[in-house]
Amino acid sequence: MSSLKYKRILLKLSGESLMGKKGFGIDHNVLDFFSTEVKKVHDIGVQVGIVIGGGNIYRGLSASDQGIDRVTGDQMGMLATMINSLALQNAIEHKGVYSRLMSAIHMEQIAEPYIRRRAIRHLEKGRVVIFGAGTGHPYFSTDTAASLRAVEVEADVIIKGTRVDGVFDSDPEKNSNALKYDNISYLDILKKNLRIMDLTAVSLCQENDLPMVVFNMDIPDNLLKLVNGENVGTIIKK
């Protein structure tokens, strides 16, 4: 434990990542893979919090295109994150790892209400804590929710799992000559408009001096290497 670079992490996953090769919904193989990677770091003593989006089921930002007002759309998106959170919790517990699902909106039959001190206590007891329903308010993304929860539970780092190897100067899936950054500041993220997270999330991390690592979650053992201090992904800090 003493040799770990990061001892308490907040892992941010996109809802879209759960689709795998499907065009919609949840791919069981992806759930199994993610839960295995989480177990690897949990087993060496890392305290793990997770925020997962809901874009594989519903995205509030697209609500207006369907004639739904933004607030209602965002509330529907919060419920989508809870569906994903329940699925991920189930997969993690099938690996023999104790977990807790905490919700920013009241739904006591399926999740605990989010209480900061209780969340920290769960982490201290070695339980993986999944934070669902975003911030509980419309107009705030799950990226912002991840930044907020990471700051609140005093995480050492916020780790954003993607399907590329870090932060690039352009989309590496569209430009084979895209340049990868090993280190970059939050200020440069904003100046270069790299769209790693939304403005509110980036500002929150910057103001609270919370480092972020963007890495490829789809590569086995990448998360394990990252918490052990190996050079994986891109580090973003002041």
Q: Is residue 162 part of a domain?
A: yes
Assign 3-class secondary structure to 147-176: HHHHHHCCCCEEEEEECCCCEECCCCCCCC
Is residue 3 a part of any domain in this protein? Answer: no
The SS3 assignment for 181 reads strand
Q: Are 199 and 214 in contact (CB under 8 A)?
A: no
pLDDT tens for each residue of the chain, 238 residues long: 568 999 999 999 999 999 988 878 999 999 999 999 999 999 999 999 999 999 999 875 566 667 888 899 999 999 999 999 999 999 999 999 999 999 999 999 999 999 999 999 999 999 999 999 999 999 999 999 999 999 999 999 999 999 999 999 888 888 888 999 999 999 999 888 888 888 899 999 999 999 999 999 999 999 999 999 999 999 999 8
Q: Is residue 110 part of a domain?
A: yes
Question: Is 56 contained in some domain?
Answer: yes
Neighbouring CB atoms inside 10 A of 54's CB total 26
Q: Which two tokens stand for residue 1?
A: 């434990």
- Gap between the Cα atoms of 232 and 123, Å rounded: 24
Residue 2 is assigned to a structural domain of this protein = no
Whichever domain contains 173, its CATH number is: 3.40.1160.10
Enclosing domain of residue 63: 8-237
Within a domain: residue 1? no
Classified as helix, coil or strand, 214 is strand
CA nearest neighbour of 102 among 129, 83, 128: 129
Q: How many domains does the chain have?
A: 1
Does residue 103 form part of some domain? Answer: yes
Cα(41)–Cα(222) distance, integer angstroms: 10
Q: How far is CA 172 from the centre of its chain?
A: 21
> Between the CA of residue 225 and those of 18, 180, 231, what are the distances in Å?
22, 19, 8
Specify the DSSP element, H or E, that contains 206. helix 199-207
- Integer Cα distance of 18 and 56 in angstroms: 7
Q: How far apart are CA 69 and CA 65, in angstroms?
A: 9
Cα 81 to Cα 41, 111, 238: the distances in Å are 23, 12, 30
Query: Would you say residue 24 lies in a domain?
Result: yes
How many residues are listed for the chain in this entry?
Answer: 238
